[in-house]
Amino acid sequence: MSLESIKYKRGKLEVLDQLLLPLQTKYVKVEGVEDGWKVINKMQVRGAPAIAIVGCLSLAVELLKDDIEDKKIMRQEIEGKLNYLVSARPTAVNIKLAADELINLANTLNADENVTPNEFKERFVISIENMLIKDIEDNKAIGKFGCEAILNNANDGSVRILTHCNTGSLATAGYGTALGVIRSLNESKKLEHVYCTETRPYNQGARLTAYELVHEKIPATLIVDSMVSALMYTRNITAVVVGADRVAANGDTANKIGTYQIAIVAKHHGVPFYVAAPLSSIDMSLTSGDRIKIEERPDREMTHIGEHRIAAPGISCWNPSFDVTPTNLITGIITEKGVFTPNQLKDVIPKDSAVVPKS
């Protein structure tokens, strides 16, 4: 059975504390929006799709507890709380797009005189709950399209894939995006091997992706981030597949720090470089990646591993959590609607790309 990072039953939300993995498996209760903001900000839950889903579900939990009888007040509360949740981490766009759609929905339900306060709440909460199902469906489609694209371009029958950060069940509602593609390749028996980077400084690769790969019995090897060039030189890598936190309209892609340098190395070695992401990671309001806000995290994530200091006391640090891979280094963007070149995005992002399923 695949790992479950988000446990939700009407009004009850728990997230797997990813700070403790792989050594401890402990779920944290999320009782409302304040808890939702904290688990996202502290990175107990992380990964662009999971951040959006947990943030919105924390609002659903809170609404189900409230006994607000006035639709106008409910609408106001919803807007304020969603904007607050978006502020927990700035780079991933999924939560922002989900919040915008939910605010639109709240406006519509508020304006419709035939909708009672109870119906307002019920329809609003159901929309949020459906995000869990939609995310898994989208990820399975991403897995299938990515698997086909990689196999179509592979010269031999089996493939060797490099991935970065964690994009699996832990970063989504389930199955994963880039890791979903790897899962799908493995299911098709065409995956010879996957290599995952450690992903310093937060070690999502060593702690989380490695954990998922071992759990799923997928043939895998962990490498340190600085081994990527040597790996490409010696191991005949078929393709790189990574996730995304925000893709600009021209295809520039913000993803975990280190992604950009992997894309450069891939270009040098002629290895196709794919971004696997749902349409809800694509921000058509930004013409290029220059305007993507890059989160900077505390020095402690670099200077310490757990409680143990590894860096010289007194040294100053720079800790951007993401970088932007320019569009010209990207072979294809694997979405739930198919695989597109960056310059096809503007024709692809449809009116039906709802992050939040229609109520």
Ligand X SMILES: CSC[C@@H](O)[C@@H](O)C(=O)COP(=O)(O)O
Number of Cβ atoms within 10 Å of the Cβ of 315: 9
> If binding is defined by CB under 6 A, does position 125 make contact with ligand X?
no
C-alpha Rg value of the chain to the nearest Å = 20
> If binding is defined by CB under 6 A, does position 184 make contact with ligand X?
no
> If binding is defined by CB under 6 A, does position 165 make contact with ligand X?
yes
> If binding is defined by CB under 6 A, does position 46 make contact with ligand X?
yes
Q: Which of 138, 245, 252, 323 is catalytic?
A: 245
d(CA 220, CA 195): 6
d(CA 7, CA 27): 9
User: Which window, 164-172, 218-226, 305-313, 346-354, contacts ligand X (CB under 6 A)?
Assistant: 164-172
d(CA 320, CA 201): 10
Closest CA to 120 of 81, 59, 157, 68: 68
The binder of ligand X chosen from 21, 33, 56, 92 (CB under 6 A)? 92
The binder of ligand X chosen from 321, 325, 327, 331 (CB under 6 A)? 321
Number of Cβ atoms within 10 Å of the Cβ of 87: 12
The binder of ligand X chosen from 245, 252, 323, 336 (CB under 6 A)? 245
In contact, 199 and 259? CB cutoff 8 Å:
no
The binder of ligand X chosen from 110, 127, 177, 186 (CB under 6 A)? 177
Active site residue 245: yes
User: Which window, 7-15, 24-32, 71-79, 243-251, contacts ligand X (CB under 6 A)?
Assistant: 243-251
Partners of 334 in beta bridges? 276, 339
The binder of ligand X chosen from 127, 172, 186, 335 (CB under 6 A)? 172
To the nearest whole angstrom, how small is the minimum distance from the Cβ of residue 123 to ligand X?
Answer: 28
Partners of 254 in beta bridges? 246, 324
Binding site for ligand X (CB under 6 A): 46-49, 92, 165, 167, 171-172, 177, 204, 243-245, 255-256, 321
